Amino acid sequence: MDIKEKITDRKVMYKGRILEVEKVTALLPDGKEVYRDVIRHSGACAIVALDEDMNIILEKQYRIAFDDILIELPAGKKEEGEEPLQCAVRELEEETGYVADKMTHMITVASSPGFSDEVVHIFLAEGLTRTQMKWDQEERLIVWKEPLSDAKKMVMEGKIKNGLAVAGILTACQLKGI
């Protein structure tokens, strides 16, 4: 069964600092014309940072789209031309004030494939050394450590709703046998 749509036209409707919105015209396999709103994004990284005692670094950040404070992993948008690993190293230090001796790619996820091409590369950071936070002037974060097993419990209880954090925490727990 053919389920692929054939794109016949793309039009940029909005271009902003972190994303671009396209109106895409496509043909379904049966020939019916459909319209899709698509968000184009350069991608991002997220980091599961674990210390020697298996504590994970978590963040609380206000997210205006939800009008709520969410529990998340250190994460951020890839800069133009930046590799995912470079993004992860930069974001970890900027948001938490830590650098890692070892950074391992765990998983890549499509954050919202129904309307966005954003992919997020999730890394495991180990061998942490404290430096100094270099926060973005527009970011306000609460950063703390939590046992990885407690973070898993928070996921299972629905206290952590951010999909990237859920994927990263559960993947790290699987890798670490938790």
DSSP notation for 23-92: EEEEE-TTS-EEEEEEEE---EEEEEEB-TTSEEEEEEEEETTTTEEEEE-SEEEPPTT--HHHHHHHHH
CA-to-CA distance for 23 and 109, rounded, in angstroms? Answer: 24
DSSP string of 4-33, one letter each residue: PPEEEEEEEEEE-SS-EEEEEEEE-TTS-E
Type of residue at 136:
D
Task: Identify the domain containing residue 138 by its residue range.
Answer: 44-176
pLDDT at res. 32: 96
Helix (H) or strand (E) holding 116: none
pLDDT at 117: 96
Q: For residue 90, what is the domain's CATH number?
A: 3.90.79.10
- pLDDT at residue number 41: 94
d(CA 86, CA 174) in angstroms, rounded, equals 25
Co-location of 36 and 48 in the same domain: no
State whether 100 and 68 are in the same domain. Answer: yes
92 and 17 in one domain? Answer: no
Task: Please give the chain's pLDDT, 178 residues, in tens.
Answer: 889 999 999 999 999 998 999 999 999 999 999 999 999 999 999 999 999 999 999 999 999 999 999 999 999 999 989 999 999 999 999 999 999 999 999 999 999 999 999 999 999 999 999 987 676 666 789 999 999 999 999 999 999 999 999 999 999 999 999 9
Rounded to the nearest angstrom, the gap between the alpha carbon of residue 7 and the centroid of all alpha carbons in its chain is 27
The answer as to whether 1 is a domain residue is no
Per-residue model confidence (pLDDT) at position 1: 85
Element (H, E) at 104: strand 98-110
Q: Which tokens in the block code for residue 92?
A: 């970890």
Q: Provide the pLDDT for residue 137.
A: 61
pLDDT on residue 135: 65
Claim to verify: residue 170 and residue 91 sit in the same structural domain: yes
| Structural contact between residues 84 and 105, judged by C-beta atoms closer than 8 angstroms | yes
Q: What is the pTM of this model?
A: 0.92
Asked whether residue 146 is assigned to any structural domain, the reply reads yes
Phi, psi of 23 (to 5 degrees): -100, 115
